[in-house]
Amino acid sequence: MKKKVISVAYPTIPVVFVSSVHPDRIPLHNTMGLAVTDLNEETRVETEVEISGKNIEFMLNGKPLEKDKMRDLEKIVKIFEEKSKGNVNGLKIESNNYKIYSGSSDAGAAALVVALDALFETKMTKDELAEISMLLSESSVRAMYGGLNELNVDGYPKFYGKLIADEKDLEGLRIFAIGFDYPTRVSAEEIFHACRSNPFYEYRLKMVPQWIARIKLGILHKDWHAVFSAAEENCANAHYLYESMGLRSRKKEMMNVVIDVEEIRANGLPCYWTAGGGKVINVFSWGNEAEKVKKELEKRGHKITEYKVAPGAKVIKRNREVGL
């Protein structure tokens, strides 16, 4: 067993938005996401797990983890202890988010289970780790696999994650993130309840397979218009469902970005947007005209952080072994 492990995972953005979940936090329908980081790979979650003390301690960005999340964490640690047939008296866990607007919970969950797998030397498969990570975040599969990926729940309660396209497949894609410093955000639980309560939710469930089919076909033919028009439609639909129920996550400034993207596209430049429940609008473009899109967004007063497609969660440092 290792003494200390450090892992990293990257935040994710929605391609097919998680609009509601089962009581066990498995999404009600298939979803897709994209792992991203900035061009210097500074946008990330870094998690350090060390055998230390007599209790499990978890600090998230320098603050203790919430009690309900702490219970989930203890369950996860127990899974690794039972799998490895080894017990630890205490663990010191520190997780820090760097330059993240949205998607930190996905990356945090993925980084944690990858680190625990290395610490306990359980050698679980990526599928097994993804399933465990979903005890903390319903869309952590995105950060586990990296790239553009899908969570398939057609056989619920069984499910599986699948990598659809990696960084090389998506080479040439440019992602312009426009974030906002709002003090609070709508919670995932509020979003899920509002979407599911909307009378038009059944329409969304019927449309999800069509959006995913369009995205996969677009990836196959490198037809980015097909991919991101479907992604934008999907995210716009999800936001309509819960915002029309009285929950407003896209504030006025965010809506201005959405309108600007649609105007820029109407003027002939390739660009589409997506957004989760957080504080960022993601703008996708490609090819020779992507730089024109960036300049047009900046001309309209938007401050941009450029992202690139990121890999899946991984261990970046392992310390010496310790006998237990």
pLDDT digits (tens, 9 = 90+) for 124-176: 999 999 999 988 888 888 899 999 999 999 999 988 889 999 999 998 999 99
Mean pLDDT is lowest, of 10-24, 97-111, 198-212, for 97-111
Mean pLDDT of 243-268: 94
> 4-165+310-318: what CATH class?
alpha beta
**First-last CA distance in the chain:** 8
pLDDT at 322 > cutoff 60: no
Strands (E), the chain: 4-9, 12-16, 31-38, 44-51, 56-60, 63-64, 91-98, 148-152, 160-165, 173-179, 272-274, 280-286, 305-309, 314-318
Q: Are 53 and 90 in contact (CB under 8 A)?
A: yes
pLDDT at 187: 86
Q: Read off the tokens for 14.
A: 């929605």
pLDDT at 276: 78
pLDDT at 181 > cutoff 60: yes
pLDDT at 324: 44
pLDDT at 177 > cutoff 90: yes
pLDDT at 319 > cutoff 80: no
Cα–Cα distances (Å) from 204 to 41, 207, 211, 212, 274, in that order, read 35, 5, 10, 12, 16
Sign of CA dihedral 38, 186, 151, 116: positive
- Contacts of the segment 227-233: beta carbons below 8 A, 24+ positions apart: 228/272, 228/274, 228/284, 229/272, 231/14, 231/15, 231/16, 231/32, 231/272, 231/274, 231/284, 232/272, 232/273, 232/274
Helices (H) and strands (E) in the chain, counts: 9, 14
- Please provide the CATH number assigned to the domain covering 173-308: 3.30.70.890
Query: What is the layout of strands, in order, in the sheet containing 63-64?
Result: 63-64, 56-60, 91-98, 44-51, 4-9, 314-318
pLDDT at 122 > cutoff 50: yes
Q: What distance in Å separates the CA atoms of residue 108 and residue 97, rounded to the nearest whole number? A: 8
Q: Read off the tokens for 275.
A: 């957004």
- pLDDT > 70 fraction of the chain, expressed in percent and rounded: 97
Q: Read off the tokens for 114.
A: 């990858």
pLDDT at 137: 86
pLDDT at 286 > cutoff 60: yes
Question: Which DSSP letter does residue 316 get?
Answer: E
Q: What distance in Å separates the CA atoms of residue 271 and residue 232, rounded to the nearest whole number? A: 10
Q: Read off the tokens for 93.
A: 């866990």
Residue holding tokens 């997780």?
A: 95
pLDDT at 253 > cutoff 70: yes
Band (67; pLDDT cuts 50, 70, 90): confident
Quick: pLDDT tens for 35-64: 999 999 999 999 999 998 888 999 999 999
> Would you kindly state where each structural domain of the chain is located, as residue ranges?
4-165+310-318, 173-308
pLDDT at 320: 60
- pLDDT > 90 fraction of the chain, expressed in percent and rounded: 73
Q: Read off the tokens for 57.
A: 């301690």
